[in-house]
Structure 1
Amino acid sequence: MGIDLTRDIVLRWEDQDPALAPLLKDGGTDVVLVDKPVDAFLQACQKVGLRVASSDEIVLSGLQEFRNAGARPAALTEGLWPGVSRAPNTTDAEDVASASHQPWVDANGFRIAWLRALCPERQPALAYKPDEHSGVSPDRILPYDSLELALVEAWVSGANYVLAVEPRYRKALVDGDAKAIEAWRRMGRSARWLKEHKPVFGHPFFPAITMLVDEGELSAELANLAFRQNACPALEPATRPPAPDPGKRPVVVAASLNALAPAVRSRILAHAEAGSTLIVDREDDKPWWRVPALKLEREEPDRETYRLGRGKVIAYREMISDPSDFALDLVDAATHQRRAVRIWNALSVIATVTSGPASGPFRARAIVQAINYGRSLRHEILMRVSGGYSSAVLLRPEGERVQLKTARRGTGTEFTIPHLEQVGIVLFS
């Protein structure tokens, strides 16, 4: 049986000691990926219900190889090791969030949405390693549960992550360290929970903010910071923009993109003509979006606002230089009443909102996924989701279903998560 990244949890592993097979199973693993399988290890894994595969059975690569992998399973090697890390030019004391400082969150939900937009025909999967390419310096000590976070983040986003164990953690597991084994088994619990709740994950995002993306890193970075600021954008390919729909897509972003074909430009501008707000930038004095029908309405130091048809175009005077501030501008353009989700007092949490299954045990009109990239949050977390709902049910790996209280607030619904470990999923009906 081959590797199936829609359902298999795959572990990259080096030590083929047969005695380790039960431990690997405890981590929720389905497939152990090794360079050249050894018979004794293969047999030991089979006894505990593990499959062993050769590393050449899967493509671990950049975007182009991922896209062209054909029938072979593939995973993108680009990614950030998830968690809260130190921001540039800060001290240890500044890593803690305060009224004037936001924690530096490294996350990959944006990368999965970006990958799905660019390669919709493939199962999205990531395979970054805990090294300098993913932002992990040689002297950085990673918490053991950050590997579990990488797995949770990917599955909740409707994707997969090919597990790579950090060397210190791997040694601790082999040596029988109690804390390492406890974290490993906790990951196994989460892995089983993720599989049981797979129908909840991977549904379309609420598109109040629709962001067009391409293969460029500038485009990806805008998406990254939009996710980090909880703007919750729905990503769509710039080369195949969706049809205009001002009711569902009031804000459409087409910034920091590579050259666009004339027909694509027209389809993007059609969003403003139909009544949406189109947000763009420029890198020269002949921007692609400038058409005769534009009528200047307002000038500001960093942007201009034009009327176009029934909508408007907000045009930044230069290429976006601060993606974080730009993400907050997107929220302002959408307005707090129409934004998909809002969180108070939980700066290490990234939340997204999707539609839900139309039938089955997890039937829902909307789903909020809240992932905590920092330490456990023991206080109540107030959130608001777009739309009116009378029922909210919290799902999480460490406990039973919890019915949450809801309160209608204008066009949205407020609710409170009592506390948050790594992930909380809320089903709304």
Structure 2
Amino acid sequence: MGCAWRVAVVLLVSVALAACGGHKGFMAPIAETTAVPGTSTVDMLVATTRLPSGDPNTLFSGERSAQPFLTAIAVSIPPASKRKVGQVQWPKKIPPNPETDFAVLKVAPLPSVESGQGWLRTHNKNGHVMVFVHGFNNRYEDAVFRFAQIVHDSNANVAPVLFTWPSRARVLDYNYDKESTNYSRTGLERLLQALQADKDVKDITILAHSMGTWLAMESLRQMSIRDGKVAPKIENVILASPDIDIDVFARQWSELGGKKPKFTIFVSQDDRALALSRFISGDIQRLGQINPADEPYRARFENAGITVVDLTKVRSGDRLAHGKFAESPEIVQLIGDRLVNGQTLTDSNISLGEGITAVVAGTTGGIGRVAATTVATPIDLLTLTPQQQRIGVGPDPGLVFDKAEQPAAPPR
């Protein structure tokens, strides 16, 4: 590869991924008396493995902390007449204007696990908890405001818990961020175990995006290896635009044990961020960019009972097509209305609205104009095909992708 081509690739990566983060300095609370009529408030519990910044405007940096921190945060959302569903309205100045901007109303450090449990008792009205894990190139405030938007716009009846890991929020620090997810595996696992142990928590939904899906899968895998199973209260796992090597995901899945949570995966073939990730990751297909109508993906996911929702035809304001799950009004509301409750989504019980289609693999009747589907037939974890036996595949054949079977990469 020539020098000019290398420079062009670096510039393309930088431009394409810059939209993932870049906001800074809005975490200092405004006076609650400045809140205006019609605003909404999202209260969330934030757990992090980031190092405190010492600055009330940022709270936490992108560096790694040897100990986790818990914080209760309240975010004000502008009135419905002033914003569109799926939109985070970043302040243009300090202090923010709550009539037009997202604004922090409260920041309360919680010094112990017991104080976190106290927050849950106050905010966990029905026993449903959603844990959000953000992706690459996110500052602390990026994750807080995005999760506030998701909770508000999805109208999910959950206690919101954000897990934010140390991202430097610089496009050329991709490897640092990836290693930070590995650094944070135990932190996320311990958070999930604490939620599992809380008697007031009935069920847990994990919603992870982009590189955060790697962290979520690794934490669940680690939990399964340590305890012999995934915590039973973790009923639903939603992976949005997962930046995971397809072969690695197959291995992670196989090591989650026999009884797994319900999995829903949002993919999109026009995801430009994942196209670049594939380019710099050895040209191995990323899970979030597959076409679920293609074989072997369709059969493998159907056999595994995994819901795969193809959002390629869904339009949003995201020019990278990497955040459709949060920015598309129909999809974010789908998360709150159906997926958090563990419902099976088929063309008979869901509509994505006029002119919006989501092509799905795995339906017993083929590929259709539906939101999602899952197959109830459990995978036989002990049966290997002759070909898989020859190549020494592990104990879960449902998600093994033979290199010869994988569709070729699209032309660049």
> TM-score band (shorter)?
0.3 to 0.5
- Specify the structure having the higher radius of gyration (Cα): 1
In terms of fraction of residues, the more strand-rich structure is: 1
In terms of fraction of residues, the more helix-rich structure is: 2
Which structure carries more relative contact order (alpha carbon 8 Å, separation 6+)?
Answer: 2
Relative to the length of structure 1, the TM-score reads 0.32
